[in-house]
Amino acid sequence: MFNEITHQYSEHKNKELAWLINDYEITYENNLINNREQLEKYNWLDRQFTYKFNSHGFRSEEFTDDDSIMFFGCSNTVGIGLPLEDTWAYQVAKKLDLKCFNLAIGATGPDTAFRLANHYVPQIKPKIVVYAEPHPSRFSLFGIDEVYQFTTHNIISSKHGKTKKFESFYQHWILNDENIKLNSIKHRLAIQAICQQYNIKFVFAESYAELPYDLDFARDLMHPGVESNKIFAELILSRINQSN
């Protein structure tokens, strides 16, 4: 029904996975040995769940024409280390009685969010778009000899990223705050403009700054946990209500 686009999770289309990047089985096993008290504290001992992906490769409900809310972001929005029902995006959608179309992808930045929004928002036309901004120091660069090369953070092809040419570029780019500020502003405004074109409510948040990171932890003991996601869900809901 809806045209697809290739992205970092495309290989997971129609799959249900027991583990996902950062929330590795080996990490959990190591934490059972070295950080068992934390796993027990946050109720992760012997608690199992899966990551289920739709036909477009997202941890999301299957896309339909039903009234929906669409989310863009990184691992904080995917809900790495959390059962689906404990993710803040799921809680927001359930509270609003809207289909939850979560197009977030872990370890990606504003470029990926815009690329996906530009492709899917005009097709699906959700009622609301929530852009939970990843850290704006991340950006995308496609290698000239690799049709679809996706990595993380600086998001440079692993081959080219090791050359002095690209190392020098990224060092200059990331060490000047103006580059990071501009990267944030231009992608937020671009996604907002897409929403305005289709009369879609747009809500913005800085997931890396506004989602609590020291309250509790997900199963990987890296990402924000259940209580943190509840707090962030309430924050997003309040912003949605304020924009009415």
pLDDT at 159: 44
pLDDT at 148: 44
pLDDT at 46: 87
pLDDT at 164: 61
pLDDT at 188: 98
Q: Are 165 and 181 in contact (CB under 8 A)?
A: no
Comparison of pLDDT for 68 and 162, the residue scoring more: 68
pLDDT at 168: 75
Average pLDDT over residues 88-115: 96
Q: Give me the phi and psi of 3, to 5 degrees please.
A: -65, 140
Q: Give 10-25 pLDDT, tens digit per residue.
A: 999 999 999 999 999 9
Full-model pTM: 0.91
**Segments of the chain assigned E as strands:** 16-17, 51-52, 68-72, 99-102, 128-133, 201-206
Helices 226-242 and 88-96: crossing angle in degrees, nearest 10, is: 40
| DSSP secondary structure code for residue 41 in this structure | H
Comparison of pLDDT for 16 and 1, the residue scoring more: 16
Helix, strand, or coil (residue 217): strand
Q: How far apart, in whole angstroms, are the C-alpha atoms of residue 217 and residue 220?
A: 7
Q: How far apart, in whole angstroms, are the C-alpha atoms of residue 153 and residue 106?
A: 10
Beta bridge pairs of residue 202? 129
pLDDT at 153: 37
Q: Give 183-229 pLDDT, tens digit per residue.
A: 999 999 999 999 999 999 999 999 999 999 889 999 999 999 999 99
Q: Are 167 and 161 in contact (CB under 8 A)?
A: yes
Q: How far apart, in whole angstroms, are the C-alpha atoms of residue 219 and residue 45?
A: 9
pLDDT at 163: 53
pLDDT band at 114 (very low <50, low <70, confident <90, very high): very high
Q: How far apart, in whole angstroms, are the C-alpha atoms of residue 188 and residue 203?
A: 10
pLDDT of 238 > 80? The answer is yes
Q: How far apart, in whole angstroms, are the C-alpha atoms of residue 163 and residue 127?
A: 44
Q: Give 143-189 pLDDT, tens digit per residue.
A: 655 544 444 334 443 444 455 656 777 778 888 999 999 999 999 99
Cα→Cα distances 72→2, 123, 159, 181, 219, Å: 18, 15, 28, 19, 22
| Of 104, 116, 96, nearest in space to 51 by CA | 104
| DSSP secondary structure code for residue 222 in this structure | S
pLDDT of 65 > 50? The answer is yes
163 conformational bin, left if phi > 0, alpha if psi -120 to 50, beta if neither: beta
